[in-house]
Amino acid sequence: MAGFNVFLLVIEMAVFFTAMLALFRLRETLGLGVFFCALGSFHFMETYLAAAYYVQLPFGISLSPGSVVLFSGKLALILLIYIREDALVARQPIYGLIIGNILLIGLVALLRQHDAVASPGVPADLSFMDAMGLLMMWGTLLLFIDSIAMILIYERIARPLRRRPVLAIWITLALVLTFDQVAFFGVLSLAMGVPLTAGIGGWLGKVVAAGFYAAMLGQYLARFELAGNTPRRTITDVFHALTYRQRYEDLKQESRRDPLTNVLHRGQLEPLGRDLLAVARTTGRPVSLLLIDVDDFKDVNDQLGHPTGDEVLRRLARGLTESLRQADHVVRYGGDEFAVFAPGVGNAGALSLAAQLGRRVGAMTLPPGVARQTLSIGIASAPEDGSTLTELLDAADKRLYAAKAAGRNRAAGGPEADALKMNG
């Protein structure tokens, strides 16, 4: 039976993590909110299992699937969010869990004021919820600390181990899960009387789970996420994201949208560019500007009329937005021209991003009679191509011209400004 329990734990980890990776992969279609909701839905079950449900393994070891399968997996998924998005996005589910736990404790306090009637065979007892609420709050506060520590450790070891990313992820998860097991198990033992043998078994299980999830994460990143588009982040960036979150949210609130395409209008280009370049200088991270021109768009207006042309522009803008990360910004630069700011992305990553945009636009469903659309894209990156918005615009504009002169449906970037064809 102990060996069968090991088999079941492996199946549980594979099912849970595969499903969550699939939701993350669909974030451009479904939105990150769906992924976050699914992740948060396991929080109560995870804490309950850690407090009350253990399985026997070989050599007299016992552990909880809540800690080994769900919590270890959740930590690995938060690391994935940081790698593919940024620290600002990675904090969102943690804040949501903290607020939810506070509301849970407050609601239980109000429920105590009822003159409750017990259901048949079940006493009206909220004492278990008291313990669970405190455990969930402590676990979520630990998760916040774990996440910051995880980002710091990962950034410290990812560069030396860049050729062995799975090892870097495993070491990061193993170290943080070791700290978490010590901190959480102490409170769990006091609150629920869980024996020390279960704590040791839980630690061993978490270290093994960290290796399992690191291998799955490495395969996912290699197969499904764009190569070369993962920005190098520094320790300063973590605290910058924590300190300046309000600045970004104020910027979003003040941003005005183009009424036709619902992306930022031309007037937001300069203040947004200045702000992103200032942040890039502070954190030492790159930022790329992509100037995008829709090839032969004038033919759509001339042959099918401006209402059809407007619909094509709306769909193109939506396709561009859905192909980008939440940290990226799309600006309508002119009639059929767009500008994209990609913070944290260098020139190589911007070329990969341009290819992704070209494929997405080439595969879009357009109004009847409209031919497949293609893009010409000029790319400039700070600090290589300049440190001001004017310098970036000038470099990107020259490369956009080079892309169009080379035959269109191309992206040009880098020191040589080679125009690379994006799709057939």
216 and 182 share one domain: yes
Domain end point (choices 173, 194, 224)? 224
DSSP, collapsed to helix, strand or coil, labels residue 192 as helix
Give residues with Cβ within 8 angstroms of 220, minimum separation 6.
Answer: 21, 25, 80
Q: Please choose, from the candidates 186, 178, 181, 136, the residue with its C-alpha nearest in 3D space to the C-alpha of residue 153.
A: 178
- Is position 120 within any domain? no
- Is position 231 within any domain? no
For residue 330, is it left (φ>0), alpha (ψ between -120 and 50) or beta?
beta
CATH number of the structural domain spanning residue 318? 3.30.70.270
149 and 288 share one domain: no
> Rounded to an integer, what distance in angstroms lies between the CA atom of residue 145 and that of residue 124?
36
- Is position 286 within any domain? yes
324 and 290 share one domain: yes
299 and 194 share one domain: no
Question: Where does residue 209 rank: exposed (0-12), middle (13-18), buried (19+ CB within 10 A)?
Answer: buried
Q: Please choose, from the candidates 38, 409, 80, the residue with its C-alpha nearest in 3D space to the C-alpha of residue 218.
A: 80
Question: Where does residue 398 rank: exposed (0-12), middle (13-18), buried (19+ CB within 10 A)?
Answer: middle
> Rounded to an integer, what distance in angstroms lies between the CA atom of residue 203 and that of residue 218?
22
Residue 290's pLDDT is: 96
Where helices occur in 121-164 by DSSP H, the ranges are 127-158
304 and 156 share one domain: no
Q: Do residues 237 and 283 make contact, with C-beta atoms less than 8 angstroms apart?
A: yes
Residue 232's pLDDT is: 47
Instruction: Give the DSSP H/E element, type plus range, for residue 92.
Output: helix 87-111
Q: What is the DSSP letter of 335?
A: S
Torsion of CA 259, 262, 265, 271, to 10 degrees: 140
- Is position 268 within any domain? yes
248 and 384 share one domain: yes
**Residue for token pair 């850690």:** 50
153 and 271 share one domain: no
Domain end point (choices 224, 258, 273)? 224
Residue 119's pLDDT is: 65
136 and 214 share one domain: yes
- Is position 118 within any domain? no
**Residue for token pair 């938060």:** 78
Q: What six digits make up the tokens of 117? A: 């009637």
Any bridge partners for residue 257, and if so which? Answer: 264
9-45 per-residue burial string, b: 16 or more CB within 10 A, e: under 16? beeebeebbeebbebbeebeeeebeebbeebeebbbe
218 and 247 share one domain: no
- Is position 389 within any domain? yes
280 and 417 share one domain: yes
Residue 248, number of CB atoms within 10 A of its CB:
16
Sequence length of the chain is 424
Residue 333's pLDDT is: 92
DSSP, collapsed to helix, strand or coil, labels residue 324 as coil
Q: Do residues 132 and 47 make contact, with C-beta atoms less than 8 angstroms apart?
A: yes
- Is position 122 within any domain? no
83 and 175 share one domain: yes
Beta strands at 418-421 and 410-413: parallel, antiparallel or unpaired:
antiparallel
CATH number of the structural domain spanning residue 193? 1.10.1760
Q: Please choose, from the candidates 37, 85, 45, 79, the residue with its C-alpha nearest in 3D space to the C-alpha of residue 64.
A: 45
Number of domains in the chain: 2
Q: Do residues 365 and 283 make contact, with C-beta atoms less than 8 angstroms apart?
A: no
Domain end point (choices 224, 257, 277)? 224
Give residues with Cβ within 8 angstroms of 323, minimum separation 6.
Answer: 28, 356, 357, 360
Q: What six digits make up the tokens of 422? A: 């994006």
Q: Do residues 187 and 135 make contact, with C-beta atoms less than 8 angstroms apart?
A: yes
> Rounded to an integer, what distance in angstroms lies between the CA atom of residue 365 and that of residue 187?
55
- The distance in angstroms from the start CA to the end CA of the chain is 56
pLDDT, tens digit only, all 424 positions of the chain = 778 888 999 999 999 999 999 999 888 788 888 999 999 888 888 878 877 788 888 877 788 888 899 989 999 999 998 888 777 788 888 888 888 878 888 887 888 788 777 666 666 666 767 666 777 777 788 888 888 899 889 888 888 887 888 999 999 999 999 998 888 777 766 666 667 666 788 889 899 999 999 999 999 988 887 444 444 444 444 544 444 444 454 555 445 788 899 899 998 899 999 999 998 888 889 999 999 999 989 899 889 999 999 999 999 999 999 889 888 999 999 889 999 999 999 998 999 999 999 999 988 999 999 999 999 999 999 999 999 999 999 999 999 999 999 888 999 987 655 566 666 5
For residue 338, is it left (φ>0), alpha (ψ between -120 and 50) or beta?
beta
pTM beyond 0.85, yes or no: no
- Is position 116 within any domain? no
The half-sphere exposure of 255 on its side-chain side, counting CA atoms within 13 A, is: 24
304-323 per-residue burial string, b: 16 or more CB within 10 A, e: under 16? beeebbebbbebbbebbbeb
166 and 290 share one domain: no
Residue 229's pLDDT is: 46
> Which residue segment(s) compose the domain that 277 sits in?
236-421
Q: Do residues 355 and 420 make contact, with C-beta atoms less than 8 angstroms apart?
A: yes
